[in-house]
Amino acid sequence: MWNERYAVDEYVFGTEPNSFLAEHAGKLEGPVLSLAEGEGRNAVYLASLGLDVLGDIVSDPLLDPEELDLAQHVIL
């Protein structure tokens, strides 16, 4: 189901982090476990804040952390 949903050329949920997460991210300390990552937007956002992130994805991984500048912070 999830593989089919994400098998499109554009981002299903966009590239901006979840608004609740963005509002409260300053209260987090790493490492962070980010569940149901989907396209990885929240994990990438948290890593951009300098947090170490372990993201869980139920579909085939769509992000290749090695291609990101944040690869040292994100594990999918």
Count of CB atoms situated within 10 Å of the CB of 42: 23
For the stretch 40-53, pLDDT in tens is 889 889 999 999 99
Q: Which residue has the tokens 């804040």?
A: 49
Of the candidates 20, 30, 19, 26, the residue with the CA atom closest to the CA atom of residue 55: 30
Q: Token digits for 54?
A: 């372990």
pLDDT of residue 65: 52
Top pLDDT among 10 and 64 is at 10
